[in-house]
Structure 1
Amino acid sequence: MNEFAELSYALDTFYFLICGVLVMWMAAGFSMLEAGLVRSKNTAEILTKNIALFAIACTMYLLVGYYIMYSSSAGGFLPNLGFLLGGENSVDAVTAGGDDAPYYSMRADFFFQVVFVATAMSIVSGAVAERMKLWAFLAFAVVMTAVIYPVSGYWTWGGGWISAVGFSDYAGSGIVHLAGAAAALAGVLVLGPRKGKYGKDGSIRAIPGANLPLATVGTFILWMGWFGFNGGSELKVSDVASANNMAQVLVNTNAAAAGGVIAALVLAKLWFRKADLTMALNGALAGLVAITAEPLAPSAIGAMLIGMVGGVIVVASIVMLDKLKLDDPVGAISVHGVVGIWGCLAVPLSNDGATFMAQIIGIVGIFAWVFLASLVVWLIIKAIMGIRVSEEEEYEGVDIAECGLEAYPEFGVGK
């Protein structure tokens, strides 16, 4: 019995770690997607943001964020404050048996959670691309990953008050994606649109990305990484029921992404008379975000339909935000925020244990906290150091202004 418990513990820990590695690989996906959807003169800077934010997220969550998220009392509102990680599980605890026996390493749990924090922060970088100061962004990343995300994480996955009302979010449509989008929206409101994006007559000018093949590769990397994102959230795989659940989660995740692509592409063709690649890419991500809140309970067909609704929503949302003059170069607020809300609301459609009221409370609680806290932090950073590059630097490209090099040095200024 003891040997079986240790073997199961080892298997579940290994599975958890590998899923975390897949989620970490999503950082590459975000980097490639964002680098493909910005102009060539801003590519090196967006890549610098992505690798720096990942390092900052890992460091701040290690120092304080993980403790805030998982070391507080059940049902509470104010989290405990503390530093670093707790102890590791002992052999005796693992082999004792019973419902309370740990079945994976606490370090594996930290590793899986820290890459989720980085994912939430990655959402922000695309929305504020091409006109934000690098160091202002990184200053915000420190606060977001150390405090803002961990507090709402405590309220939900950490067992706080939102969890207590019955909010259900299997892998983070609201907890991760809506939170990242809420922080991004606050940043976009303070920052303002890119120069030339909106005409004085109210016209909307398209600013095409520099490298759509790169953006497509990034989307496929994210699609692949999502199997770890959702699959790892089953938390174990060492028994028949859990193994079957993980298989169902991966099938549903894939079906939702495919449905999102098809729906977004068809709608783009009907609406714009063109098969818009960027809408197809965002459709895939929308399908993935939509199913993340409940990838286990629906049938595969149900998951596909949830993803298709996400694909329709994201196209409509991108157009709507442009009309509202909210400049989001990669569509992050629509993909992760608007569709994240849909994902949370879709949970009761297949999960009898969830209610629409609990889902709405969770959505409002997460959005209100992250948006308002982020807005305050953005305004403080703006007052202290400014958050926007100069008009000249924006014209020349933030690669030169912020990084002193170009991703594509053979291209001229302003391309």
Structure 2
Amino acid sequence: MTIHALHSGLDTIWVVLTAAMILLMEGGFALLEAGFVRSKNSVNIIMKVFADITIGTLCYFLLGFGLMFGSDLFGIAGSNGFMLNGDLSHLKLSISTDTFWLFQGAFVIAVISIVSGAVAERVNFRAYLLYVVLMTALIYPIAGHWVWGGGWLGKLGFQDFAGSAVIHALGGFSALAAAILIGPRKGKFMPNNTSSIALPSNLPLASVGAFLLWFGWFGFNAGSTLTATDVRIGHIAIVTMLSAAAGGAATLIYTLFRYGRSDAPSVINGSLAGLVGITAGCAFVSDRAAILIGIVSGLFMMAATNWLEAKRIDDPVGAFPVHAVSGIWGTIAVGLFASDGGLLTGGGWHLLGIQLLGLTVLCIWGFVLTWFALKLINKWVPIRSTDEEEEVGLDVSYHGIMAIHTSPEFINVDDYFIENPRENPN
């Protein structure tokens, strides 16, 4: 065996393993969101995650990957590589194209899962399926090409190692557009400018989801090296850990002194905010900068959560504060703290300016394209569930089953489909 073959084999094992870690994050999304919403909508959360994985994967294979990583066409989109066909030698990979696709396919599923949480408990499931197609086949891949596929932002020098901007800020602003357009859950906001709280159905479940996401994030960040022999892997892992810990600690201490108690949902989201914040700069910033990035991410997340409440925007799981706001800060932090080119490390204003430009474009792209996509979908399928469906719960309304049953273990199949006409195969 040659040294080249050994190197390629090690890289392949590394990328496949980290891709699997990222795919496990979907279990984290499912548990986190199911724990945060009311129990009558938890099956719907799980089904949306399965839609992300199944439909999203196929759409990315058929169209999205080619638009993202195909040969550059005017800096805007890829022109080949659809269904992995065509010459992709321009990618200059040490691994096979199949292996690279698997890793990138795991990323695209994470993007759409961000939007899923923001519209929980009131989105029409059929409309959501159509949006999954548009996000994974068009919206995200084109933006991804600009940064990672040889497009115009990457050529300008925009730095986003693992996706604070491309995945999280874009996904978070897409989530914001969807939440505004679909509107709040019934009873969330009162006419007298007060808001009510829908208590999470299962916080232990949500915390396990957060731990799974935290675990998968090591694959998210360290796996973006795409090689097992990159000496930065250890550093990427430790700054990922430090930022997540700092984000969680900041929200724990903040809520303890602000409200007189440590608020569990806030601490969960604070840790996730720290993970989002470090994702862009995990290969570029120091350990101490990572701690600061995590602290600020957690506090910005809290501020954004309060802003949503003030603007009467309903985001049941905090998708916008966690992903968009922390993603913005994390991307800006690269321009501030990057060891090569950061403003506060002697690099001047150039990188920071490029980071701000790229952020602005990606956030606008996610918001506007999602807005128009949902408007288009709404012409054929209502994007909002009916009042009756929302009142009964989306589990029964769309899937004909509850998360927890107290009825007899066995029932007649015909009776089941009569009582659940949406599921009747006849």
* TM-score, normalization by structure 1: 0.92
Which structure 1 segments of 5+ residues have no match? 94-98
Q: Please, which moves more after superposition, 273-282 or 77-86?
A: 77-86
Amino acid at match of 2:10: L
Partner Cα distance (2:195, 2:71) in 1 = 47
- Paired residue secondary structure (2:148): coil
Match of 1:18 in 2: 17
Contact 1:75–1:164 (Cα < 8 Å) also in 2: no
Question: Where does residue 198 of structure 2 map in the other structure?
Answer: 207
Q: Counterpart amino acid of 1:378?
A: L
| 1:302-358 residue CA offsets vs partner (Å, 9 max, x unmatched) | 211111110111111111111111100000011000110001000022222361110
Secondary structure in 2 matching 1:33 = helix
> Which residue does the alignment assign to 2:236?
249
TM-superposed CA distance for 1:106, in Å, is: 1.3
Contact kept in structure 2, 1:186 and 1:378, CA below 8 Å: no
The alpha carbon displacement at 1:88 in A equals 8.8
1:221-240 alignment runs, 5 A limit: 221-238=212-229
TM-score normalized by the length of structure 2:
0.90
- Gaps spanning 5+ residues in structure 2: where? 343-350, 408-426
Q: Does 1:123 align with 2:123?
A: no
**Aligned partners of 1:264 and 1:315 also within 8 Å:** yes
What is the aligned partner in structure 2 of residue 137 from structure 1?
A: 128
Check 1:141–1:341 CA distance in 2 against 1; reply closer, same or farther (3 A cut). same
Q: Give the 5 Å matches for 1:109-120.
A: 109-120=100-111
Matches within 5 A, 1:144-293: 144-238=135-229, 242=230, 244-293=231-280
Q: In structure 1, what residue type is equivalent to 2:68? A: M
CA distance in 2, matches of 1:51, 1:31: 9
Q: CA RMSD in A?
A: 1.8
Judge conservation of contact 1:37–1:211 (CA < 8 Å) in 2.
Answer: yes
Q: Distance in 2 between matches of 1:12 and 1:229?
A: 15
Partner residue in 1 for 2:420 = none
The residue that corresponds to 1:52 in the other structure is: 51
Deviation of 1:75 after TM superposition, in Å, equals: 6.1
Post-superposition offset of 1:368 = 1.3
Which of 340, 349, 353 does residue 341 from structure 2 map onto?
Answer: 353
Structure 2 residue identity aligned to 1:370 = G
- Assess if the C-alpha contact under 8 Å between 1:57 and 1:141 holds in 2: yes
CA shift, 1:391, in A, is 0.9
Please give the per-residue CA displacement for 1:140-177, whole angstroms capped at 9, x wherever unaligned. 00010001100001111011111122110000000011
Give the residue type in structure 2 aligned to 1:193.
P
Residue type at the aligned position of 2:289: G
Inter-CA distance 344–74: structure 2 relative to 1 (3 Å threshold): farther
CA contact (8 A) 2:162 2:280 kept: yes
Measured after TM superposition, the shift of residue 386 of structure 1 is 0.4
Task: Please give the alpha-carbon distance, in whole angstroms, between the structure 2 residues aligned to 1:373 and 1:202.
Answer: 30
Deviations 1:230-286 (A, max 9, x none): 011112123xxx1x3001000110111000000011111222222100000000100
Q: CA deviation at 1:66?
A: 0.4
1:323 partnered with 2:310: yes
Q: Matches of 1:233 and 1:386 in 2, distance apart?
A: 38
CA distance in 2, matches of 1:230, 1:86: 28
* Correspondence 1:384 to 2:380: yes
Percent identity among equivalent residues?
39
Match of 1:96 in 2: none
**Structure 2: which amino acid aligns with 1:46?**
I
What does 1:373-412 correspond to in 2, within 5 Å?
373-410=369-406
1:299: how far off? 2.2
> 2:311 & 2:317 partners in 1: Cα distance?
16
Task: Report the alpha carbon displacement of residue 72 of structure 1 after superposing the two structures with TM.
Answer: 3.1
Give the partner amino acid of 2:379: A
Matches of 1:206 and 1:386 in 2, distance apart?
Answer: 26
Distance, in Å, in 1 between the alignment partners of 2:106 and 2:308 is: 29
Does the 8 Å contact 2:66/2:78 carry over to 1? no
- Secondary structure of 1:200's partner? coil
Which amino acid is the alignment partner of residue 179 of structure 1?
A: L
Structure of greater relative contact order (alpha carbons < 8 Å, 6+ residues apart): 1
AA in 2 matched with 1:353: G
| Contact kept in structure 2, 1:73 and 1:79, CA below 8 Å | yes
Q: Is the 8 A contact 1:156 1:163 kept in 2?
A: yes
CA–CA distance in structure 2, aligned partners of residues 304 and 265 of structure 1: 15
Cα 1:250–1:161, aligned 2, differ >3 Å: closer, same or farther? same
Contact 1:187 1:375 in 2 (8 A): yes
Displacement of 1:44 in angstroms is: 0.7
- Conserved 8 A contact 2:70-2:77: no
| Aligned mates of 1:9, 1:363 — CA distance in 2 | 34
Structure 1 residue 86, shift from structure 2 partner: 3.3
- Indicate conservation of the 8 Å contact 2:21/2:219, yes or no: yes
Tell me, yes or no, if the aligned pair for 1:37 and 1:330 is still in contact at 8 Å: yes
Secondary structure at the aligned position of 2:250 is classed as helix
Q: 1:339 aligns with which of 326, 331, 337?
A: 326
Shift of 1:403: 0.6
Partners of 1:214 and 1:15 in 2: CA distance: 30
